[in-house]
Amino acid sequence: MNNFYALIMAGGGGTRLWPLSRKTRPKQMLSLVEEQRTMFQVSVERLSPLMEPDYIFVVTGREHVERLSQSVPQVPVENFIVEPFGQDSGPAAALGTLHIQHRDPDAVIAVLTADHHIADQPKFRRVLSAAGELASREYIVTLGISPSFPSTGFGYIKRGEELAQIDGFQTYHSAGFTEKPDPDTAVQFLTTGLYSWNSGMFIWKAYQVLSEFARQQPTMYALLEEIKRAIGSDSYRETLDRLWPSMKKLSIDYAVMEGAKDVAVIPVDIGWSDVGSWATLFEVLAGDLNGNVSRGRGQEHIKIDTRETLVVSNRMVVTIGIEDIVIVDTDDVLLVCHRDRSQDVRQVVGKLKESGDEIHL
Distance between CA atoms of residues 225 and 217, nearest Å:
12
**Cβ atoms of 107 and 206 closer than 8 Å:** yes
How large is the angle between the packed helices 218-230 and 89-103, nearest 10 degrees? 40
Q: Does 288 bind a second copy (CB under 8 A)?
A: no
Which one, 69 or 343, has the nearer CB to a second copy?
343
Q: Does 361 bind a second copy (CB under 8 A)?
A: no
Which one, 118 or 311, has the nearer CB to a second copy?
311
Distance between CA atoms of residues 121 and 119, nearest Å:
6
Identity of the residue numbered 90 = G
**Piece of the chain touching a second copy by CB under 8 A; list 8-16, 146-154, 185-193, 326-334:** 326-334
**Cβ atoms of 156 and 277 closer than 8 Å:** no
Contacts with a second copy in 4-63 (CB under 8 A)? 19
Which one, 274 or 329, has the nearer CB to a second copy?
329
Which one, 163 or 317, has the nearer CB to a second copy?
317
The angle formed by the CA atoms of residues 238, 243 and 244, to the nearest 5 degrees, is: 100
**Piece of the chain touching a second copy by CB under 8 A; list 72-80, 227-235, 282-290, 317-325:** 317-325
DSSP, collapsed to helix, strand or coil, labels residue 138 as: coil
Q: Does 341 bind a second copy (CB under 8 A)?
A: yes
Which one, 28 or 342, has the nearer CB to a second copy?
342
Q: Does 354 bind a second copy (CB under 8 A)?
A: no
| Candidate residues 351, 353, 356, 358; the one interacting with a second copy per rule CB under 8 A | 351
Buried b / exposed e along 182-221 (16+ C-beta atoms within 10 A)? eeebbeebbeeeebbbbbbbbbbbbebbbebbbebbeebb
**Positions that interact with a second copy (CB under 8 A):** 19, 302, 304-305, 313, 315-322, 325, 327, 329, 332-338, 340-342, 344-345, 347-348, 351, 360
